[in-house]
Amino acid sequence: MARAIYDAATEVSGSPDAVPPSRADVAAATGLTRATVSTLVDHLVAARLVTELEPVSSQRAGRPAVPLVPARRTVVGLGLEVNVDYLGVRALDLAGDVVADHVEAGTFHDSDPAAVLARLGLLAADVVTRLEADGLRVAGARLALPGLVDARTGELEVAPNLGWSSVHPVELLGLGDLPVRVANEAKLAALAELAGDVPPSFLYVSGDVGIGAAIVVDRALFLAERGWNGEVGHVVVDPAGPRCSCGASGCLEQYAGKEAILRAAGLATEAPLDDLVAALAVPDGGTPGGRARSAVDRAGQALGSALADFVNLTGVSTVVLGGVYTELEPWLRAEITAGLGARVLAAPFAPVDVRAARAGQHAALTGGAREVLREVVADPAAWV
């Protein structure tokens, strides 16, 4: 199984300081014999999925090992995304390097899916052309959309913030025979965290206009049935609370949605997040800081309650805060942790770990590209 080989070879390279594994290391890690690993690795090297570095003397007796690393600039995965205020394309190679990155600002609220996706398709086709001219092979693409995507068919049922519904995005991209699959934006953003030292299973919660989430189990997305999980934005926080756009009352979104926080902080709902952060940074007592802090405190309390439900129901005990929560994490952390500690039943035995996301801007592009490469790695036979 070539997958095990590649996993072993790449997983180690996840921690940047670790020394790349040799054929012998891979054999030890997988339980296969050195003979088997050797022939498989030779195939991967021939297919340019793995690169051999110069042998380095290890200060120990014995023949020096040949370090194996994921190949750079040979095979790439493409991440695509349309979101409310931007669209973009990003290409990653097996080493995790960004080899192409093109993000365009825009306002796609109530936009025309055909026109927007055609534009994104052009950008993507341009990137593909340039990469292929450089001899790189594009394995496929993942399109991230902020809405309800059917994981089986790839159809977008509805994306409220884009004003789209019942869209088949793959056809509208017009990318010919490049294999493109579609997923929810928060779910792909969650996968971008796997590049860091996150635990193998975690909940990813992304605050924005809506609140998206993903469940990652053993480094893979949990997508039961159609992948419509993680709708934490409409978990009950208080049935006596404010009315929500979904028809119910007291949903998390009414306390911890981006617009709800900004409004409670006394800022315009379109205000940039930096304004809120600036207000929070004012030493306490000041009116702007006070109001912003109480807004974020309230959001933190609501998040603590809703995320406790999330953790209690899924049994996953790490929560990664993405989207606007990443930057607000210092101010949210205490309330969230308190809420989780009080309401998560298993907390006494497995305390919940809350942390900020680390994937950086437009994480869904990175996560989508990674996901494509993961498929290549899972079945390298097609590339050998």
Partner DNA sequence: GGCGTTTTGTTGTACGAATGAACTATTACC
Partner DNA sequence: GGTAATAGTTCATTCGTACAACAAAACGCC
Instruction: Count CA within 13 A, CB hemisphere, residue 203.
Output: 27
Query: With respect to DNA, which residue has the nearer C-beta, 35 or 118?
Result: 35
Name the DSSP class of 194. Answer: G
Residue 349 contact, options its own copies, DNA, none, Cβ 5-8 Å cut-off depending on partner type? its own copies
In whole angstroms, give the CA distance from residue 172 to residue 174. Answer: 5
Query: Is there a contact between 245 and 239 (Cβ–Cβ < 8 Å)?
Result: no
Residue 246 found at the interface with its own copies (CB under 8 A): yes
Residue 310 contact, options DNA, its own copies, none, Cβ 5-8 Å cut-off depending on partner type? its own copies
| Nearest-approach distance from CB 240 to its own copies, in angstroms | 6
Residue 161 found at the interface with its own copies (CB under 8 A): no
Buried/exposed 6-33: b ≥16 CB within 10 Å, e otherwise: bbbbbebbeeeeeebbbbebbbebbebe
Residue 364 found at the interface with its own copies (CB under 8 A): no
Angle at 317 between CA 316 and CA 322, to 5 degrees: 90
Pattern 116-155, DNA, x by CB under 7 A? ----------------------------------------
In whole angstroms, give the CA distance from residue 128 to residue 106. Answer: 22
Q: Which of residues 46-65 bind DNA (CB under 7 A)?
A: 55, 57, 59-65
Residue 237 contact, options DNA, its own copies, none, Cβ 5-8 Å cut-off depending on partner type? its own copies
| Nearest-approach distance from CB 197 to DNA, in angstroms | 25
Residue 220 found at the interface with its own copies (CB under 8 A): no
Q: Which of 12, 29, 51, 66 binds DNA (CB under 7 A)?
A: 66
| Nearest-approach distance from CB 63 to DNA, in angstroms | 3
Q: How many CB atoms lie within 10 A of CB 60?
A: 7
Q: Which of 35, 350, 381, 384 binds its own copies (CB under 8 A)?
A: 350
Q: Which of 14, 18, 19, 42 binds DNA (CB under 7 A)?
A: 42
CA distances from 113 to 83, 84, 182, 228 (A): 11, 12, 14, 21
Largest Cα–Cα distance in the chain?
72
Angle subtended by helix axes 34-46 and 2-12, to nearest 10: 80
Residue 1 found at the interface with DNA (CB under 7 A): yes
CA distances from 350 to 6, 317, 341, 346, 377 (A): 32, 7, 10, 6, 33
Chain residues in the site for its own copies (CB under 8 A):
148, 150, 157, 201, 213, 215, 217-218, 222-232, 234-240, 246-248, 305-306, 308-310, 312-317, 342-343, 345-346, 349-350
